[in-house]
Structure 1
Amino acid sequence: MAELIFSRETDCRYCYKCLRNCPVKAISFKSGKSTVLEEECVFCGLCLDICPQNARSYRKDVGRFLSLSRPFLVSIAPSFFAYFENPLRVIGILKEMGAVVVQETAVGAEIVSRRYEEVFEKHPGPLITTACPVVVNLAEKHFPNVLKYFAPVDSPLMAHAKFLKTRYGDFPIVFVGPCIAKKSESDLVDVALTFEELEEILEEREGKEALPDGPYPDRARFYPTTDGIGYTVSVPWEKKLVVEGIENLMRVFSRIDEYKSVFIEASACYGSCLNGPVMKKKSNGKERLLEWQKKLPKEPKVNHLKIDTFRSYRNKSRNVEVPEEEIKKVLVSIGKDDPSKELNCGACGYDSCREKARAVVLGKAEKEMCFVYLLDLVKSSSYRVVEESPNAVFVLKDEKVIYRNRVAGELIQKDPGILECAKGSVGETLNIEGKRFFFVKEFSLEDGEEVIMLVDITQEKLKDEELDKVKKETLRKVEEMLNKQMRIAQEIAGILGESIAETKSSFMELKRFMEGENADL
């Protein structure tokens, strides 16, 4: 299957904003390509939202949905009612397209909440919720030490998928929600669509309004809100802790052993699922959810079927040890041979120079991602170019020389007055002792500095003189050859003149003979 989050290389401008904002640094810049590292990515979708060039996108499964065998079952996330202006019409269209059941994922959330209560009662903490797939990815890939504190319970979607299969049979299941990470959460779902994708499918389609199919959830409709899970779980409020945002989760995970007997509601998005990757444009989500909660049917005591909701987790971390000498080698190569030169400015996207150097060793980053290194490289290259130039360069400020290159220094030693002479010869050729020739140029820099440059044109001058010699010699030889040709022509003409005279004399004698008295012989 295609990668979940990908980059469009033609649009990426290497601003590193995605890397700076990626909490787990799961983006690689190498050989002119920007790549999302799926083995490290938690699929939070943050890089899609903050990219100024819109160079990132996620896998769209509209085609898979349209080619799905009919009939099928649909699980709609609670935030569905906050996203769509007329969610009942959307349900009606889905049914016209072949959905025999369109049911709320919150039905599965009701089941999960009961399991949370049972687990917390037996193991009072810390217990971390597992409804958010990004939270699970974060733990499995980067904080495997906290997996033992995760509730061994399915997510609401997984529980609901099992419920649908048990109740209605083995039909394809389609999930619709605000989360990109749901696309890779479980094999129990055949197609997972975001609300954006569903909008694309619904374009120019008309349908009659229809309610979701029962059974109906009660409090679990508030799962996508802050403290929404805690609202459905019977745990004393003083034992509940809501943690939102990946950075906050990372802080808690790094100190997890400090939390005792606490039920931790974990969500990757600030504001929970109502602020998911495809929910950014909805500012009044909670109010809309409250309105629909009043309109939709509720079954406070749903007689759910008995299903197995046990879930296990895997350590997927890729913590590769990088030798210290390799890190130091990279640091030295970018001019950071001393800790005082490690600015840790974060411009490259990494929090420290050492972290960036480690990424270079692992092949995830390039040395040129360091702007300070590039600036020093440009400066040093420019300096070397000017210093080794065959032209003389003087830089003046307030009529005083503040820099001169090697050639300028040599000229000053031979003729201390060369600079003054050059100032009076701007735009002209300066002849030094008849041996060297310089064309004098002058220009100003932005900071008020003046540059006098003596462009060495000695070789060009010598070539011109040599060319003049060749021209003169050529003209001389041509003239000599012409004179010789003229002499030859004159001699030939003389010889031809004598020959013609003799021939004419003989002809006249023959004529007289032929016209004479013996002409009839």
Structure 2
Amino acid sequence: MEKYIISNQANCKYCYKCLRNCPVKSISFSDNISKVIDSECVLCGKCIEVCPQDAKKYLFEYERLKYFFGKKFLVSVSPSFFSHFDEPFKVISYLKKNGAIISETSIGAELVSNEYKKLSGIKISTACPVVVDLVEKYYPEKIKYLSPVVSPAIAHARFLKQYFGNYPLVFISPCIAKKRELEEEYDLVLTFEELEKFLESEKVDIFDFEDDFPQEPHPKLARFYPISGGILKTLGETFEQVFNVEGVKNIKDFLDRVDDIDGNYFVEMSACIGGCIEGPASRKDISQLEKRIRLSQNIKKIPEGLAIENVELDLKREFKDKKHYHNYTEQQIQEVLFSIGKTDKSKELNCSACGYDTCREKAIAVLEKKAEKEMCITYLIDKVSTVSNMVVEETPNLILIVKDGNINYKNKAARLTFMSLSNKKLWEILKDVEQSEFKEIALNNKNLKFFVKKFSLPEDSGEVFILTDVTKELEQEERVKIIKKQTIEKIEEVLNKQMLLAQEIASLLGESIAETKSHFTEFKRYMEEENDYL
């Protein structure tokens, strides 16, 4: 069941673009329906970004924000808030006017960095929920490298409860994956897009409000967490070396090779290239550089205040192996590969047109009922070609393909009909045919009559001749003409005899003979009409 990313089936056009771009292939195609597999999805939001039909969207819950208004509630705003909104401090003022206590998630980030400093060996940051999901679901053997520390958002939630009291919690960020990560920690998790939608639905003119700022206490360096290298800035000289890896593909490459590294290293990881300021629900109309500048400028506007000190919180975290293991035998996989024409390794093109990186992965997906055989374009082409060839080969019409005066192909009907005629003689008969005309061909002491249709193949590949044998139809037409003629002759004979008889008994019949003649004349004319049917 789809929970966080939802598919609009009416718009899905089976282009497989979402699957091709999904780094973990957590999208199923079955019975003409595309769905996100929630248990396998890491919520990176790539499928939403790339879908040309807008057939993917994430869970919008912005209407629920109104339920918190009118009484005190706590709001954690992620640091990229200050790079996203044109007037971030007016938005804060609006929320405050409706009962919100606004606090910066960067406080939680600072607490998390303090925990990171206590670690040693090779450690990966766990601030990004996509990274954590990726390791737990697809690289569980690398869990040992994850820093056993909660994310800044969770650390902040625990801090807010301790510092301000037990009030409802709302989190706002540019991250879709936070919706799943924080569902047990916060009462409502919104994206920046959702907050904008809420302001629009409430017809809020943000310029009606004066600038206002987040509540104390304030963080120190952690406000730069959402930019590349932002986490590393908070670690000082704790580790022998620090570096950052961004983008799910690069993260997967790193995880594939991390076992070869020794030392005391800290790795800052973000699923979004550029950091959280480039999150899936962040603005796309301004550049990453402009976002960094906005973040820096707006941070400077926040008045200095009380810093966090002597905070005692349990921020430890454990991770689980959530990998989906399949138990298909090699024989089962090979049977699927054979069924889609991959009868040997040379035919496993691994072209990725279906969305999977290899034909083998696709075969496993078919077994798991996540994919259909028809998603393989080479299989489809072969299937369509086979059907087309069968139709051409078995049709009763005679089909020939000619290139540069050479007959390169004759279907079964043409081979049987022209068995006694050489290709050279056959071409002599056909070469003067225009687009369509009747042609008489002498075969085996019989004159066969054909209706010939000719057309050219694209890219100067030759000409196709389709011959329909109309000999029987024309012979039938000739027989009909003969029957008509014989019938008319019989009518005339009967009419003449009737006239003789009429003359002998004219005195008895009077004018009735004239009427009889009239009827026979009309019948004769009717029989002579071209469109008559016998």
TM-score (norm 1): 0.85
- 1:51 aligned partner: 51
Aligned pair 1:275/2:278, yes or no? yes
What amino acid does structure 2 have at the position aligned with 1:210? D
- 1:3 aligned partner: 3
- Equivalent residues of 1:411, 1:418 under 8 A apart: no
Aligned CA distance change for structure 1 residues 467 and 352 (closer, same or farther; 3 Å): farther
- 2:519 aligned partner: none
Q: CA deviation at 1:482?
A: 11
Q: CA deviation at 1:56?
A: 1.5
Aligned CA distance change for structure 1 residues 458 and 139 (closer, same or farther; 3 Å): farther
Q: CA deviation at 1:104?
A: 0.7
- 1:197 aligned partner: 194
Query: What secondary structure is seen at the aligned counterpart in 2 of 1:157?
Result: helix
Uncovered stretches (5+) of structure 1, i.e. residues with no partner = 497-521
Q: CA deviation at 1:102?
A: 1.0
Counterpart mapping for 1:411-426 below 5 A: 411-416=417-422, 417-424=425-432, 426=434
Counterpart mapping for 1:128-207 below 5 A: 128-186=124-182, 187-203=184-200, 204-206=203-205, 207=209
- 1:226 aligned partner: 228
- Equivalent residues of 2:117, 2:235 under 8 A apart: yes
Query: What secondary structure is seen at the aligned counterpart in 2 of 1:107?
Result: helix
2:498 and 2:194 mapped to 1: Cα distance?
94
1:300 and 1:243 mapped to 2: Cα distance?
33
1:36 and 1:9 mapped to 2: Cα distance?
11
Q: Deviations over 1:149-176 (max 9, x none)?
A: 3222211111111112222233221111
Q: CA deviation at 1:131?
A: 0.7
Query: What secondary structure is seen at the aligned counterpart in 2 of 1:447?
Result: helix
Query: What secondary structure is seen at the aligned counterpart in 2 of 1:12?
Result: coil
Q: Could you tell me which of 241, 244, 253 is aligned with 1:242?
A: 244
2:302 and 2:450 mapped to 1: Cα distance?
90
2:99 and 2:495 mapped to 1: Cα distance?
104
- Equivalent residues of 1:218, 1:298 under 8 A apart: no
- Equivalent residues of 2:239, 2:264 under 8 A apart: no
Query: What secondary structure is seen at the aligned counterpart in 1 of 2:419?
Result: helix
2:489 and 2:187 mapped to 1: Cα distance?
95
Query: What secondary structure is seen at the aligned counterpart in 2 of 1:197?
Result: helix
1:45 and 1:481 mapped to 2: Cα distance?
93
2:36 and 2:490 mapped to 1: Cα distance?
76
Structure number with greater Rg is 1
- 1:356 aligned partner: 362
- Equivalent residues of 1:111, 1:304 under 8 A apart: no
2:326 and 2:408 mapped to 1: Cα distance?
51
- Equivalent residues of 1:218, 1:299 under 8 A apart: no
- Equivalent residues of 1:217, 1:299 under 8 A apart: no
- 1:342 aligned partner: 348
Sequence identity, in percent? 44
Q: CA deviation at 1:228?
A: 0.9
- Equivalent residues of 1:75, 1:175 under 8 A apart: yes
1:482 and 1:45 mapped to 2: Cα distance?
94
- Equivalent residues of 1:6, 1:57 under 8 A apart: yes
- Equivalent residues of 1:243, 1:249 under 8 A apart: yes
2:493 and 2:139 mapped to 1: Cα distance?
96
1:477 and 1:181 mapped to 2: Cα distance?
95
- Equivalent residues of 1:29, 1:364 under 8 A apart: yes
1:386 and 1:400 mapped to 2: Cα distance?
19
Q: Deviations over 1:311-343 (max 9, x none)?
A: 222221102122111121122122221111111
- Equivalent residues of 1:26, 1:40 under 8 A apart: yes
Q: Deviations over 1:195-232 (max 9, x none)?
A: 11111112231333211111111101001011111111
Q: CA deviation at 1:300?
A: 7.5
- 2:87 aligned partner: 86
1:107 and 1:470 mapped to 2: Cα distance?
106
2:198 and 2:9 mapped to 1: Cα distance?
27
Query: What secondary structure is seen at the aligned counterpart in 1 of 2:29?
Result: strand
Query: What secondary structure is seen at the aligned counterpart in 2 of 1:255?
Result: helix
Aligned pair 1:103/2:108, yes or no? no
- Equivalent residues of 1:27, 1:36 under 8 A apart: yes
Aligned CA distance change for structure 1 residues 36 and 467 (closer, same or farther; 3 Å): farther
Q: Count matched residues.
A: 490
- Equivalent residues of 2:29, 2:372 under 8 A apart: yes
What amino acid does structure 2 have at the position aligned with 1:384? M
Uncovered stretches (5+) of structure 2, i.e. residues with no partner = 511-534
Deviates more, 1:474-483 or 1:50-59: 474-483
1:166 and 1:370 mapped to 2: Cα distance?
56
- 2:314 aligned partner: 308
Query: What secondary structure is seen at the aligned counterpart in 2 of 1:199?
Result: helix
- 1:368 aligned partner: 374
2:189 and 2:7 mapped to 1: Cα distance?
21
What amino acid does structure 2 have at the position aligned with 1:388? E
- Equivalent residues of 2:172, 2:190 under 8 A apart: yes
- 2:455 aligned partner: 443
What amino acid does structure 1 have at the position aligned with 2:286? K
2:177 and 2:481 mapped to 1: Cα distance?
79
Aligned pair 1:265/2:268, yes or no? yes
2:13 and 2:428 mapped to 1: Cα distance?
48
Aligned pair 1:324/2:333, yes or no? no
Q: CA deviation at 1:4?
A: 0.8
- Equivalent residues of 2:117, 2:238 under 8 A apart: no
Q: Deviations over 1:79-113 (max 9, x none)?
A: 000011110011111123x3330111111111111
